[in-house]
A = this chain, B = another copy of it.
Amino acid sequence: MRQPATIKDVAQRAGCGVATVSRVLNNTGPASAEMRRRVLAAVEVLDFQFSEVGRSLQSNTTRTIGCVVPSLANPVYADAVQGAQEAFQRAGYQTLLVCTNYNPEIEFQAIRTLIAKQVDGFVLTVSDAETSEGLAYIENRQVPYCLLFNTAPGDQISWSVADHSAAKTVADAFAENKHNDTGFLALKFQSSDRARQRYEGFVAGCAQNGMIKPALLEIDEDSQNLTDLLGMFLQENPDITGIFASNDFLALATIRSARALALEVPGDLSIIGFDGIEVGSMVEPSLATIVTDPKMLGAGAGKSVLSVINQTPPPDFPDPDLSFSFRAGGSLAPLFAESSDDGKVASFPPSNDLTQTDTHIQQERSK
How far is A73 from B95 in the complex, measured between Cα atoms in Å? 16
Task: Tell me the A1-38 residues at the B interface (CB within 8 Å).
Answer: 1-2, 4
Are B94 and A95 in touch, CB under 8 angstroms?
Answer: no
> Hey, what's the 0/1 contact readout for A245-287 against B, CB within 8 Å counting as 1?
0000100110110000000000000000000001100111000
Residues of B within 8 Å of A1, CB to CB, are 140
Contact of A116 among B51, B82, B255 (CB under 8 A): B51
Are B64 and A73 in touch, CB under 8 angstroms?
Answer: no
How far is A149 from B136 in the complex, measured between Cα atoms in Å? 40
> Hey, what's the 0/1 contact readout for A86-113 against B, CB within 8 Å counting as 1?
1001000011111100000010001011
Flag whether A338 is at the interface (Cβ < 8 A): no
* A29 to B: closest C-beta gap in Å: 22
Flag whether A71 is at the interface (Cβ < 8 A): yes
Flag whether A178 is at the interface (Cβ < 8 A): no
How far is A278 from B283 in the complex, measured between Cα atoms in Å? 13
How far is A98 from B112 in the complex, measured between Cα atoms in Å? 22
Residues of B within 8 Å of A256, CB to CB, are 282
Are B278 and A118 in touch, CB under 8 angstroms?
Answer: no
Smallest Cβ-Cβ distance to A286: which chain B residue: B256
Flag whether A72 is at the interface (Cβ < 8 A): yes
Task: Tell me the A227-259 residues at the B interface (CB within 8 Å).
Answer: 249, 252-253, 255-256
Number of copies: 2
Kindly name the residue among A78, A97, A112, A142 whose own CB sees the greatest number of chain B CB atoms within 10 A.
Answer: A97
Contact of A53 among B53, B71, B112 (CB under 8 A): B53
Are B50 and A116 in touch, CB under 8 angstroms?
Answer: yes
Contact of A52 among B49, B85, B116 (CB under 8 A): B116
Flag whether A141 is at the interface (Cβ < 8 A): yes
* A25 to B: closest C-beta gap in Å: 13
Are B62 and A72 in touch, CB under 8 angstroms?
Answer: no
Residues of B within 8 Å of A278, CB to CB, are 249
How far is A117 from B140 in the complex, measured between Cα atoms in Å? 27
Residues of B within 8 Å of A112, CB to CB, are 49
Flag whether A54 is at the interface (Cβ < 8 A): yes
Flag whether A56 is at the interface (Cβ < 8 A): yes
Flag whether A333 is at the interface (Cβ < 8 A): no
Smallest Cβ-Cβ distance to A93: which chain B residue: B113
Flag whether A75 is at the interface (Cβ < 8 A): yes
Contact of A72 among B56, B82, B106, B249 (CB under 8 A): B82
Task: Tell me the A30-87 residues at the B interface (CB within 8 Å).
Answer: 49-54, 56-57, 62, 64, 67, 71-73, 75, 78-79, 81-82, 85-86
- Identify 28 residue pairs between A and B in the complex whose beta-carbon atoms are under 8 Å apart, listed by A's number: A1-B140, A49-B112, A51-B118, A52-B117, A53-B56, A53-B57, A53-B62, A53-B117, A53-B118, A72-B72, A72-B81, A72-B85, A73-B78, A73-B82, A75-B75, A82-B99, A85-B99, A89-B98, A89-B99, A89-B110, A94-B98, A96-B96, A96-B97, A253-B282, A255-B282, A256-B282, A279-B279, A279-B283
The 4 closest A-B pairs by CB, nearest first: A78-B78, A72-B82, A97-B97, A72-B78
